[in-house]
Structure 1
Amino acid sequence: MERRLAAILSADVVGYSRLMGVDEGGTLERLKACRRELVDSTIEEHHGRIIKLMGDGALVEFASIVDAVHCAAVIQRSMPSRDQGVSEEQRIRSRIGINLGDIIVEGDDIYGDGVNIAARLQGIAESGGIFISGTAFDHVAHKVDVGFSALGEHRLKNIADPVRVYRVLLDPSHTGKVVFAPRARSRGIALLPLVGLLIATIAAVVAWQWPHKQRASIAVLPFANLSDQTQDYFADGITDNLIADLTRLSKLDVISQNSVFAYKDKPHVLADIRRDLGVRFVVEGSVQRIGDLMRVNAQLIDTESGDHLWANRFDRSEADVFAVQDSMSRQIANALGLKLTPSEAERIARPPTANLEAYDYYLRAEQAARTGRRSLMLEALALFDKAEALDNGFAEAFASDAHATAYVWRSAYDDVLKSALARKRPTTRQVARLPSIPNYHRLMRSSPSCRSWTDVTSRRSPRRRRPCRSAQPIPKPTWRWHMFK
């Protein structure tokens, strides 16, 4: 039995039976023309493989989830223009579901939950819409010119576990945006409003009698780079590491890196951020690097009142970068009234490496890998190698290296993968340090190949509370199975 990880696209025509009833011959001709002139060529351009074609739908396999989502977006954006001059009841509209998951391959056919989830997502998608799973979103966010709206967890027919669902926002004005709905709503549950009213009433009574302090939620916006463009990677690194440090605090919910980087180099309004990300507090700042010196400005803002709760400027040598990050995290926690536990304080104070040159290579590699572009992935992997060579105990570098290699493999960048694997060396000895990396438990769970190992490890090390939208949603420690498969 052959298994592999793949991106699956399931599509069908909305109201196919009704369309055939209105004009059978005309509908068939327009469907054939749509396939011939749009669908088939778009799938081919995005390296898709058509598995099945039904009268009103299709099942397509892609090696890259980025290609799958981009293909779906092109198709859905192009469909309306094909129906100009056609009456409303005869217009052809499709709905698409996309999932990234493990599939079973038998001959030319594919099976398994990876396929079934895509089909179920297609079934709940809106006319002209695209729904994708949480695993797909984790790997495609900000890599395609679309936005996303989180719809929460849904129970899908014949799927054992709830599935995180995201709606793809096709309007160009939403590109790069991630909208979190205040409450996920399931379809087809007639009693949901009544149940919701009952829960709200009980909660109000309990809150009135036993008031409690709400957990603080925070978003760290990308720090502005006030130096030349070549220093972008350093400013992004300050942002990433502040997110990672704050994620270590058990009483703080931190918005993910993927979500906040949608605001990079864009004007923003606090009220919009509060609404879109659902946060009470925002950290913003800037970084200026001149030679061996750096200046970091940061401020903490209450999005409800607009008040500045804390602000500071750090003029230090770049050799003190870890001390600056440690100080910022502690001062922000103090401004929020959070008391650090000894273990939290120790984790924040622990630098990822003592070698600043290795750290610089690591930050450059992270910036290149974040793009997901074939042309930059080999550069990223080479930079990770340099960081690892300078400090073979740099666990974060090994983790990011493994993740980038796995992404290259999943994206079918064969030339890059061949070059990458030719230089790889075993990293097993770094696994012992993985639990110290932020979001280690969640990151490991997100990789199917690591779940069995994670189940064992999670019983041996303390498990921290995982925020709904915690930092770094892209899985990093996708270890030796992906590296040496």
Structure 2
Amino acid sequence: MKARKQIFVPGDRTTTRHQVAATVLFADICGSTQLFEEYGNWQARQIESRILELLKGKTAEFDGTVIKTIGDEIMSRFPDAERAMNAACEMQTVIKDDSYLMEFNISIKIGLQHGPVLVEQDDLFGDAVNVAARMVSLAKADQIITTRETVRQLPDDLAQLTRSLGRSWVRGKQDEMEIVEVLWQEPSSLTQVVSIEQEEELRCVLVARLILIYRGATFEVMPSSRGFTLGRGEKSNLVVDNDRVSRSHAEIQFRQGKFILADGSTNGTYLLMENGTRFFVQREEFTLHDRGVICLGRAVANHSPDLIHYECVQA
């Protein structure tokens, strides 16, 4: 009798999953592409390796665990927000103080979020992971960005070393979140932060609304609105049916008193200002001001039927 062949199914093994409360931290090296262009592959890789070594060292020092390294970025998990915040501040400091890195003017940016996470094998999943990733994408060089939710988990002395950057829509969240910067450089010179109520009043003074006109139709975006989407997809707030337009091409968000166009497309977004200046953005952000023209996927041309005219209307 012929022996039965045993079949092995890839990934067919028992997986241990459990949920815990933790703080997720992403630390990203700024301008890593320029390092390779300026110093060459070998030296740039040495610089990156040194930075990642220091970041991993600070993670371990504050009882954190490095989950994975993603190119020039590390993702870590900490037992609580206090240790994660201290680690983030020390990460910034150690990069600036390292004798080998000083001549290269290295900067990093950090985003973190506290909340429930699903631990599966050697990886993390969940809302806190997604928000932390969004925070690091919002951060600029030398910044540590988190949310008010995370700050509430901190002791008073650490919570005082923060300032509000206002409210913003975060992808996947139903409500706006208050974005907070951690002031790690000069804690002795902190100033009083603006309250949320004052922030709401301020942004209504700065800009009342954004008017978009497309093919004779008028769209009005208010500061209190959620992200306004543009694209070829039927669910977009403004649908542009053109082959060069991505299904989810761009989104307009209101942050810190300004309307920000965030492009996430394949072919990019072209803008023509009232003074004749032209801009091209692709997978980056652009602040809309005064008035101008937006064209998705192709350069602005007078004969194009797909021009989107915009105007920031002051209060």
One fold, TM greater than 0.5?
yes
Q: 1:86 to 1:5 in 2, by over 3 A?
A: closer
Is it true that 1:129 corresponds to 2:143 in the alignment?
yes
1 CA distance for matches of 2:314 and 2:107?
Answer: 38
2 CA distance for matches of 1:84 and 1:76?
Answer: 15
Aligned to 1:147: 161
Give the number of the structure whose alpha-carbon radius of gyration is greater. 1
Is it true that 1:191 corresponds to 2:263 in the alignment?
no
Higher share of residues assigned helix: 1
Q: Is the 8 A contact 2:136 2:145 kept in 1?
A: yes
Higher share of residues assigned strand: 2
Aligned to 2:26: 10
Is it true that 1:30 corresponds to 2:47 in the alignment?
yes
1 CA distance for matches of 2:131 and 2:173?
Answer: 7
Aligned to 2:76: 60
Q: TM-score, normalised by structure 2?
A: 0.55
1 CA distance for matches of 2:55 and 2:190?
Answer: 25
Aligned to 1:106: 120
User: SS at the partner of 2:131?
Assistant: helix
Q: Is the 8 A contact 2:52 2:74 kept in 1?
A: no
How far off is 1:59 after superposition?
Answer: 0.6
Is it true that 1:93 corresponds to 2:73 in the alignment?
no
Q: Is the 8 A contact 1:146 1:171 kept in 2?
A: no
2 CA distance for matches of 1:5 and 1:192?
Answer: 42
Q: How many residues align?
A: 197
User: SS at the partner of 1:131?
Assistant: strand
Q: TM-score, normalised by structure 1?
A: 0.37
User: SS at the partner of 2:119?
Assistant: strand
Q: Is the 8 A contact 1:72 1:96 kept in 2?
A: yes
How far off is 1:131 after superposition?
Answer: 0.3
**Unpaired segments ≥5 residues, structure 1:** 201-485
1 CA distance for matches of 2:115 and 2:259?
Answer: 23
Aligned to 1:479: none
How far off is 1:156 after superposition?
Answer: 2.5
Aligned to 1:300: none
Q: 1:167 to 1:198 in 2, by over 3 A?
A: same
2 CA distance for matches of 1:85 and 1:117?
Answer: 30
Q: Is the 8 A contact 2:28 2:109 kept in 1?
A: yes
User: SS at the partner of 2:181?
Assistant: strand
1 CA distance for matches of 2:105 and 2:119?
Answer: 35
User: SS at the partner of 2:149?
Assistant: helix
How far off is 1:32 after superposition?
Answer: 1.8
User: SS at the partner of 2:63?
Assistant: coil
2 CA distance for matches of 1:95 and 1:3?
Answer: 27
Q: Percent identity?
A: 21
After TM superposition, the structure 1 = structure 2 runs for residues 193-272 of structure 1, keeping only pairs within 5 Å, are: 198-200=313-315
Aligned to 2:89: 73
Q: Is the 8 A contact 2:96 2:102 kept in 1?
A: no
User: SS at the partner of 1:140?
Assistant: coil
The alignment yields a C-alpha RMSD, in angstroms, of 2.8
Is it true that 1:46 corresponds to 2:62 in the alignment?
yes
2 CA distance for matches of 1:142 and 1:178?
Answer: 15
